[in-house]
Amino acid sequence: MHSQLNLGLGAIWYIVFLFSTTCHEAAHALVAKIGGDPTASQGGQVSLNPIPHIKREPFGTVIVPILSYLTAGWMIGWASAPYDPEWQHRYPKRAAWMALAGPSANFVLAIIAAVGIRIGMLMGFFQQPERAGFTHVTQAVTPGGELAATFLSVLFVLNILLGFFNLIPVPPLDGSNAIMLLFSESMALRYMEFSRKGFGFLGLILAWFLFDKIFGVLFVLALNILYPGARYG
């Protein structure tokens, strides 16, 4: 029974991860298309169909999420939407909006999950848990509601994680491009040249180290916003 429950929980994690990542990349692709770069659109990524995203990044969308769940009990991974570097160089501000679109999609999904939890509480399906966790943000009142409670909990937590992690202003994360909205055009171009110097994997390690230190605080803050006056700590 325990392994079946783990398998079922893993399936929920993967469905939520794939949907959330697909929305993230589709938002990038859509804003790029609106801004004049059709590259991702031509690759089929202005879509909530996960297949084009899986085909582009099978390692980050299939293998890494499954391995992270098997080893850590939760999921992380990645996908990507192609863009034209020349377009980015010509329109750094548009590229910054494109970068910001992905995390924004995650925050919208987290808000949708929060609204679903609050509506479920008003209807008597859910209640505030005494102790909250990544898969236990809300608690089902009856056994029949456990699946929905777990799904909404994972949707809430994972999208907060994806949204804030991607906003860290370290290449190659979205925040490293979104920050150009704060710069002048000439400063944005200079910053872009600097960020292309190949931080890559080193940047990801640094970002994850920083995020590991702050995500617990962000999670508690999100819980206290979801349940005003709860004083989770």
- 53 assigned to some structural domain: yes
pLDDT tens digits, residue range 112-128?
999 999 999 999 999 99
- 204 versus 41: the higher-pLDDT residue is 41
- 33 assigned to some structural domain: yes
- 233 assigned to some structural domain: no
pLDDT at 186 over 90: no
3-state SS, 16-79, equals HHHHHHHHHHHHHHHHHHHCCCCHHHHCCCCCCCHHHHHHHCHHHHHHHHHHHHHHHCCCCCCC
The number of distinct structural domains making up the chain is 1
pLDDT at 171 over 60: yes
- 231 assigned to some structural domain: no
* pLDDT value of position 198: 59
pLDDT tens digits, residue range 59-68?
999 999 999 8
Across all residues in the chain, what is the average pLDDT? 89
- 232 assigned to some structural domain: no
The answer to whether 113 touches 107, Cβ cutoff 8 Å, is no
The answer to whether 82 touches 90, Cβ cutoff 8 Å, is no
- 152 assigned to some structural domain: yes
- 21 assigned to some structural domain: yes
Domain span at residue 104 reads 2-226
- 63 assigned to some structural domain: yes
If you average pLDDT over residues 61-81, what whole number do you get? Answer: 89
Query: Token pair of 30, please?
Result: 């859509």
CB burial string 152-180: b at 16+ within 10 A, e below: bbbbbbbbbbbbbbbbbbbbbbbbbbbbb
